[in-house]
Structure 1
């Protein structure tokens, strides 16, 4: 049962969102180098998504941010492709259908912006996340697209948004 709300990020959320993402990455044993963990944008998420065709959403449950995800143009790529970015949930958020709801919101927004495809990068051991991505229509691809700087993420997926 979903009791949490999903809303757009606010500037006052920056510190908490960065803490949530880093906590999830640490809990999952993700390398701190070559992943979202070291992204400078992590501490300025609101400002980072204040660009055309980009949005970041947070999941708030009883006043506490427990996860988030966003879309933005795929970095260093020529083409009409967005990237699903920084989709992470604290343990208390998992298993509640929030990932599927967040995915629905992000993909709907990507289509509204007119993107043709949505790309993502993940880790091989993030099997639950990959199940969600596959159920949402993503397919595995052989090599990375663009250059996100996340060279430690060796699993790449793509979804057609037609």
Structure 2
């Protein structure tokens, strides 16, 4: 049994991370429209994050991807804000502190890229995720920022970096 490692996504991770994200979304009964489930990027995550000031990390355990999260400039927003994107973990990855570790990787990268704030969207019933976000210093805001296309996500949070 290997210790899980967090690393930048590689091209060969595309299929596995797409399966992880879709599996988690199905487990949580997340709508397939207006959420990450419908994102074209799911099948080409490596390529999607090969742009300036963007990064996606995966958690690998025993040569298997068990979670991931990334940051990129907030779509359709004028400010110097990034978005915490596609942070999902399989059940085997939960409750081990990996979410907090992943959050630190993403926040450090956001600061390195010089973003001022980090924004996220989630579902109201994803209470464990919201607890993690609050512990990391995120606070709730009214309404969405930018236009991510995730109109089915009613919870919006932000953190100053």
Q: TM-score range by the shorter chain?
A: over 0.9
TM-fit CA distance, 1:75: 0.3
Alignment of 1:1-162 (within 5 A): 3-161=3-161
Secondary structure of the equivalent of 2:52? coil
Unaligned runs of at least 5 residues, structure 1: none
TM-fit CA distance, 1:113: 0.4
Secondary structure of the equivalent of 2:33? coil
TM-fit CA distance, 1:3: 2.0
Q: Deviations over 1:12-37 (max 9, x none)?
A: 11011101100000001111010000
Secondary structure of the equivalent of 1:150? coil
Q: TM-score, length-normalised on structure 2? A: 0.98
Distance 2:113 2:7 in 1: 18
Unaligned runs of at least 5 residues, structure 2: none
Secondary structure of the equivalent of 1:82? strand
Note the aligned Cα RMSD (angstroms): 0.8
Q: Deviations over 1:28-81 (max 9, x none)?
A: 111101000000011000000000000000000111100000000000000100
Spell out structure 1 runs of 4+ moving beyond 6 A: none
Q: Deviations over 1:114-154 (max 9, x none)?
A: 00000000000000000000000000000100000000000
Distance 1:93 1:29 in 2: 19
Distance 2:146 2:3 in 1: 37
